[in-house]
Each structure stands twice: as C-alpha cells, then as structure tokens.
Structure 1
Amino acid sequence: MTSTAVHALPVPDLSDDALAAVTAEVAATAAEYDLSGAVPLRGLAAVHRAGLFTATVGQRYGGPGAGPRETTRILTALGEGDPSVALIVANTLMAHASQAANAHWPTAYYDDVLARSVRGPAPVNAIRAEPELGAPARGGLPRTTVRRTPSGWILNGHKAYATGGTALAYHVVWAVADEPDGDPDAPRVGHVVVPGDLPGITWVDTWDHLGLRASNTHDVVYEDVVLPADAFVEIPRGADGVYRDPAAAAGPGSFGHPALYLGVAKAARRAFADFARSRVPAALGRPIATTERIQAVAGEVDLQIAQAETLLHGALLRLETGDPAVAPQLSVLKVAIARSVVSAVQTAVAALGNPALSRRNSLERHLRDVLCVRVHPPQEDTALVAAGRRVLTG
C-alpha cells in the first residue's frame, strides 16, 4: 500500500517568530468565523501557505516528517489564533503521522491527497462518532457498514461530529465490514478511506455549538458510496478476540488536541493582560494592571499555563527517552492538562466579571472554546477509572 510518489511539499519554518506570525494571521479572522460558523477558509489558507498542513507527512513521501513535539508546537500556535482552524489541522496532521508510521492508505488515494496538499489545504479527518452510539471510545460497534462487492466495497451509514465539514478532502470512516464469508458474531472492524467528493455523501448541518463554532463539526450521511477493494483497513481485535477502540487510551499522537487548547489559554492570557493594561477606573485613576489583585490573578493564569505546557512537553520528552512509566499515565496527563487550561481561562474571566463575558471581549470566545477540551477521548471519567483500576490492581 506504500505510495511510490514523492511530492514537492514545503519544509515549514517552526521558529517561534514564524509560528507567531501564523498565529497573528489566523487570529485576524477568528472572531468573524466564530460569528458566522462558516468554514474558516482564510485561516486554513494561512496554515497552508506556512507549510504547516503537511508538517507530519513522512519523509519518504516528500514531507518534513515532524514528530509529536513539533506537532504540539504547531497546534498550540494555531490554537492561540483560532482553535477551529487548529482542530481541522490537528486531525489532518494526525492522519499524516499515522500514515508515516504505518502505511495503510490506498496508494492512489494517498498520492491524491498529497497532490491536493501541494495546491492548497487538503483537510483529512477520522470520522467515527454516530448519533445513536455517541463516542466510540465508550464502547460498542458502529452501525455504519461497508459491504463487500466483487470489485470493492459499498459504504452506508450516518456519522456525527465530523469536524471539517465540506472542506474535507478525505474522510477516514469507522465502519463494520459486511462480508459474505465474515463471522456475524465477530465482524471485522476498521476504517475506510473515502474521497470527500464522491457521489453519495450528504452533509447535515447540525453543528450549532457553544465553542469551536467554525469547526463545522456537522453530521454526514453515506449512501451507497462506491470504494475500491483496498479502501478498507482493518483494526485487529485483541488476543482475546475482543475489539477495543484505539481512542479509548491516549497515545503520543493524541496530544495534539490538548496542545491546541493550551493555545486558547495563551490567547486568554494575552486578552486579560491587554484589558488590564487599558482599563482605568475613575475611582482608581490608573490601570488595574498596577493593582496587586490583578497581578495575582495574572500570576495564577500564568501558573496554570506553565503547568499545562510542562505536562504536555514533559510527557512527550519522557516518551522520546523511552521511559516506560509514562505510557500508562498519558490519559490522566491529558486530563490534568485539560483541567489546567480550563482553569487558566476561567480564572481570567472571573476576575474581570461582566466585561469578560461581553461579545466585544475575546475572553468570552476563549472561554467557550476552551471548554471543548473536555470532549476529546479518552474523557475524564474514563481516564480516571482506568487509572484507578491500574493503581488498585497493582
């Protein structure tokens, strides 16, 4: 399945100054897209021009092959600018990193997505949740099916929370295989790689969310979508014959999501500081930034951000060194990072009161956006229960 084509993909500048420039460009349209809910095309175009959309493409395909820590730096910068853009990019970077680690896409399809990526943004997303099932990390099998035919597969199903919407170049769809010779009690489960412009794909505009409003995380329906024989990639069952969803536990690649919300917390810190420096109450006669109360709040916000950033990069550094103790803790580390970034933004908002909740203040948007960190699997209760069982069983 390995692609033989090498594409002329850019080598992005990952210096702090270059990433800060992309942050500023993406941030310039974030409020507009948050209000409209439209696909954030200008933000995605800025990411493409900077060469960040393909940063994790493997070197054998002509990409720079960025690793997890470089990826988290990219996504933190983008999350500081517009987390809706960052989420679409995060899913794409994760897809390319997965292909670099284990080639599984149909050759023609991966060549196509890279060719598209040379010309412009080509988002990819693993589309997994369903209206009835909810998040697959909670257990259960999808109702979405791929039926085997003499020439390939036919895809049918209804998915929810398909981030990227009509902007997606490719969908990676979680489904159960319907095969004449399959085991009805233990069907094969996997993903099918689907070009986003195939006949039979219909979008249902269901996304009207509190946060990440421009992420276009709508429902999508597949009706008799025709796919080639190599489009289905099985996810093997465990040695005990039980299927376990790969997203039920965190891995190094899944730290891209908390990284983008770290960016949201940094944006909130900046907004808080800007407001505090400019706000001069008549009774005080000087900026509130000069008061010890506001300085202490700023320090608390900074503490929470430093804690989240240290946990994020510290975990990845420990993985790089081969520390075996960190892998079982990745899920709870994600929980700790989520708690810290939410606390940072909530602390800033609480200190400013009404002004921070006004739509004229970007802190209101940052608060709505950062709360979305909690929805990414494994979610807090699942991670804590798994960690508790590990501790209590020795």
Structure 2
Amino acid sequence: MSTQTSANTETPTRFLLPSPTPQSLALAAERLAEHAEDHDREGSFAFEGVAEVHSAGLLTATVAERHGGPGTGLAGTVEILRVLGSADPSVALVTAMTLFTHAAQARTGSWPAHYYDQLLADSVEGPALVNALRVEPDLGTPARGGLPATVARAVDGQAWELTGRKIFSTGAIGLRWLAVWARTDEEPTRVGSFLVRTDPVTGTPGLSIESTWDHLGLRASRSDDVLLDGVRVPLDATAGLTDPAATDPRRDPSLIAWNNLGLTALYLGVAEAAREWLIGFLHERTPSALGRPLASLPRFQDAVGEIDVELTAAVDLVAGLAQRFDDGDAQAGEHSAAAKLIGSRAAIDAVERAVALVGNNALTRHNPLQRHLRDVLCARVHTPQDDSVISAAGQAALARHRLSPGTTHHG
C-alpha cells in the first residue's frame, strides 16, 4: 500500500497498530453485509460492524508509520471504502471520517501531539471513531462560506466552553472524538476545531445527541444532531485555530482529494453490490412463458453490459487518480472533483438502470436493490455538489482560453 509522507517531524510513537490485509478486508465486508439490511430497516447504528472494521485494522489504516500505523495512502483507502461500501455504506461512511482524520494528521499534524496520542491509545483499546462536526442548521454546509454559530468561550483562562448545535453528524452516537468547528468570542474572533473526547461510560457533561436522523438512505449512519451546552475542553485542545480571513484549511488540496475520491469509491461500491444482485436475479429468474433464465436474453445481456462498462470505467478513474495522487501528481488532486461528479453519476445511473430493468421486484423491501438505490442517492449531497463542480470547471476552462487583448477569434 502507498505510504503517506509529511514534512512534520515528531517523536516516534509507542503504539503499534495492525496492518489490514485483503483477506481481513474481505472478511469484514462479508460480516458487515450480514447485518446491513437489519440496521437499515431499524435505522440503528452498527456497533458490531464498527467493531469488525476495527478488528480488521481498517479504522486505523491511514495512521502514519511514524505514529505506529501502516500509513495506507489514498489508493489503499479508496479500495477499503469501495469494498466496505458494497457491504454496508453506513459503516463505510463512519469509517471514512475516521480514516480521513488520521490521514490529515499524517500530512499536517494539526492535532496537538498529546491529544493525538490519546486518540491512538483509544484506538488500541477499541474502535475510536472520530469525525469533524461542521454543518449547522442556519449555516448549512460551511463549504459555501460563513462563520459557525457554535461559540467557544474562554473560562477562567483554563478551558473553552462550547455551545451550539451541529447537524448531519455522521456516526454521532458512536463517536469517541469530536472535532467541533466553532468560533471564539474573542475580539477579533478566531475559528477552528475544538477537540472533544467523549466518555462512553459516564457521558460527557453538556453534550447530548438528539435523534433526528430519519433519512431515505444511509439510515444506519445515525447522522443525528449534536447539542453542546457549555461543553468544556482544555485551552490547548484545538486544531487549526486561526483568523477566519486566513487561508481556510478546508481548501487544502490533499484534504479535498481524499474526500472526493474516497467517498466516490464508497458509492461505487454500493453500485457494484447492486450490479451483483442484479446478475444473480437474472440468472435465477426463469419466467414460465420463457422457459429459461432472463440472463439468456440479449436485451438483458446488453443492459448488464451498459452497467458493467459504466462502473468499470468509473472505478478505474477513481483508483487511477488515487494512485497518481500517492505518487505525487498534483494534477490528480485537481481532477478529483471531476472524478467525484463522474463517479457519483455513474453509480447512481447504474443502480437506476438496474431498478428499471427488474421492475417491481427491484422496489420490494424483500430485495436489497431498493436499499442500494436509496443509499447511492446520498452521493449527491457530499461537498462539493455537482453545481459547484460544474461551475468551477467552466470558469477554469474559460479562463484557460481567455483571448489576449487585441486578438480576435475566427470561427
């Protein structure tokens, strides 16, 4: 697997974390798939699924080698998320958030060493899910600009008190660490992430979770609201605390590439699961009037061929860009937004084609295709959304071909 690099020099860690293997990944996916339907139906968080992912060494795959981890790069992460996405995309999504956090730490070291060591210690003891909580009711997604309403107030020069509400907080009920995006009440104000370590036994004073997640897809991700009412964190438990007018760390090209390619791979995994179910259905379905399986008919063969070609091309695009990124090709990161759009559209189109081909059997709750359809539609909501990708691409293309003063275009 590709290894991350960083200019950051830190004291070698005392931790030794397991390296995932293709076999452990396949076994974890097999076990996740056994319970995916039940968790979707109940809208329940897959604690046992997260435990399986942890046992396979997947939750800490992107921990840097200098911290005692395997240092899996983006290409390896893309493969992990695609396989997990085919089994249970909700578990894959909470896994992705944790993998992205470790990968970012490997690159930037933005978490203070003491707190990151504590996260690693928690990861040795058991599953230590972590997520960056950024979205708010009034602000929406911060990717489109604005300051958070969540406020951090300094108390007695000893701690910060966090107050606010975060929505769409993926895996909220299972998180061990929360990186809460907030602004300070100072003058001038600063913005950044405040690191909250939860206590699964006694609870965290001032922190509560409101069960608001009743979504069409990814129901088991339990992306509920997190309420903070004077939650205390130490003064140094911050990451990236800076002037809001400064360069936004969210614009880090590496962070963008990891999110774009990693999450797209997850949804391509969903579409691959739909394709496999469709193939099995067509081999098994033998209408009495036909006397042979639907898979024997040219019309169905062509339709499956369309789906297979579309998914193969999208998977190869995402995997290829991820490998190029690991190899140091900056252009691969620049192309990741386009790959997200292409890959997400391919995944959605493939599942919709499968549904149209199967008909009523595709939409019955007894079969998984309706679940794959609901899950894959969630690909559209992740930042950057299609309109942002298209607008940015159009502006960049036009800027590249802007005419020099005094020239004319003949056409």
TM-score scaled by length of structure 1: 0.93
Among 168, 180, 200, the residue aligned to 2:175: 168
2:399 equivalent to 1:393? yes
1:275 to 255, 271, 281: 281
Determine the structure 2 residue equivalent to 1:305.
311
Which residue pairs with 1:136 in the alignment?
142
Corresponding residue for 2:192?
190
Counterpart of 2:154 in structure 1 is: 148
Q: Give the SS at the match of 1:148.
A: strand
Compared CA separation, residues 5 and 213, structure 1 to 2 (3 A): same
C-alpha displacement at 1:160, in angstroms? 0.3
Q: How does 1:236-255 map to 2 (within 5 A)?
A: 236=242, 241=245, 244=248, 246=250, 251-254=256-259, 255=261
> 1-side partners of 2:300 and 2:41: how far apart?
30
Deviations 1:173-206 (A, max 9, x none): 1111222xx32xxx32111111123311110111
- Answer yes or no: is the 8 Å Cα contact 1:305–1:340 preserved in 2: yes
Aligned to 1:11: 19
- Identity over aligned residues, as a percent? 44
**In 2, Cα distance between the equivalents of 1:10 and 1:324?**
30
* Counterpart residue type for residue 131 of structure 2: N
Whether the aligned pair in 1 keeps the contact of 2:74 and 2:323 (CA below 8 Å) is no
State the shift of 1:56 in Å: 0.6
Moved over 6 A (4+): none
Cα 1:6–1:168 change in 2 (3 A) is same
The 3-state SS of whatever aligns with 2:45 is coil
* d(CA) in 2 for partners of 1:199, 1:57: 29
Are residues 97 and 279 of structure 1, via their aligned partners in 2, closer, same or farther at CA, if it must alter by over 3 Å?
same
Amino acid paired to 1:176: R
Instruction: Name the structure 1 match of 2:69.
Output: 63
Relative to structure 1, the CA distance from residue 230 to residue 382 in structure 2 (aligned partners, 3 Å threshold; closer, same or farther) is same
Displacement of 1:120:
1.7
Q: How does 1:221-232 map to 2 (within 5 A)?
A: 221-232=227-238
Task: Pick closer, same or farther for the CA change 1:131–1:2 going to 2, 3 Å.
Answer: farther
Give the whole-Å Cα distance in 1 for the aligned partners of 2:112 and 2:29.
34
Letter in 2 for 1:131: P
Distance 1:336 1:237 in 2: 35
The answer as to whether partners of 2:135 and 2:167 remain within 8 angstroms in 1 is yes
Deviations 1:209-250 (A, max 9, x none): 000000000001111111111112235569xx4664716977
Once the 2 structures are TM-superposed, how far is the Cα of residue 333 of structure 1 from its aligned partner?
1.7
Instruction: Please name the residue that 1:215 is paired with.
Output: 221
| Aligned-residue offset at 1:119 | 2.2
User: Would the alpha carbon gap of residues 372 and 3 (structure 1) be closer, same or farther in structure 2, given more than 3 Å must change?
Assistant: farther
1:25 aligns with 2:27: no
* Deviation (angstroms), 1:118: 1.5
Q: CA RMSD in A?
A: 1.9
Q: Output the amino acid matched with 2:58.
A: L
Cα gap change, 1:195/1:2 in structure 2, threshold over 3 Å: closer, same or farther?
A: farther
Specify the SS of the correspondent of 1:319: helix
In the alignment, the residues of structure 2 paired with residue 235 and residue 86 of structure 1 have an alpha-carbon distance, to the nearest angstrom, of: 29
CA distance in 1, matches of 2:64, 2:305: 40
The 1-side partners of 2:11 and 2:347 are apart by: 39
- What is the SS of the residue equivalent to 2:236? helix
Change (3 A) 1:224 1:94: same
- The letter of the residue matching 1:133 is L
Deviates more, 1:249-258 or 1:305-314: 249-258
Cα deviation for residue 83 of structure 1 reads 0.2
Q: Is the 8 A contact 2:310 2:350 kept in 1?
A: yes
Q: Is the 8 A contact 1:33 1:214 kept in 2?
A: yes
Aligned to 1:43: 49
Q: Which residue in the other structure is 1:264 paired with?
A: 270
One-letter amino acid of the structure 2 residue matched with residue 190 of structure 1:
G
The correspondence of residues 315-354 of structure 1 with structure 2, limited to 5 A, is 315-354=321-360
1:178 matches 2:177: no
Given that 1:91 and 1:125 are in contact with CA atoms closer than 8 Å, whether structure 2 keeps it comes out as: yes
Gap regions ≥5 residues in structure 2: 1-8, 401-411
How much has 1:107 moved relative to structure 2?
A: 3.2
CA distance in 2, matches of 1:247, 1:162: 21
| Aligned residues of 1:6 and 1:60 also touching (Cα < 8 A) | no
Deviation at 1:21, TM superposition (A): 2.2
- 2:371 aligned residue: 365
2:350 match: secondary structure = helix
Unaligned runs of 5+ residues in structure 1 are none
SS in structure 1 of the partner of residue 335 of structure 2: helix
2: CA distance between counterparts of 1:111 and 1:63? Answer: 12
Aligned partner of 1:112 in structure 2 is 118
Contact 1:247 1:377 in 2 (8 A): no
Distance (Å, rounded) in 2 between the aligned partners of 1:121 and 1:247: 29
Counterpart amino acid of 2:295?
Answer: A
Go from structure 1 to structure 2 and tell me whether the alpha carbon gap of 1:193 and 1:391 turns closer, same or farther (over 3 Å shift). Answer: same
Contact kept in structure 1, 2:78 and 2:322, CA below 8 Å: no
Task: Please report how far the alpha carbon of residue 53 of structure 1 lies from its aligned counterpart in structure 2 after TM superposition.
Answer: 0.8
Choose 195-204 or 86-95, whichever is displaced more.
Answer: 195-204
Q: 1:226 to 1:376 in 2, by over 3 A?
A: same
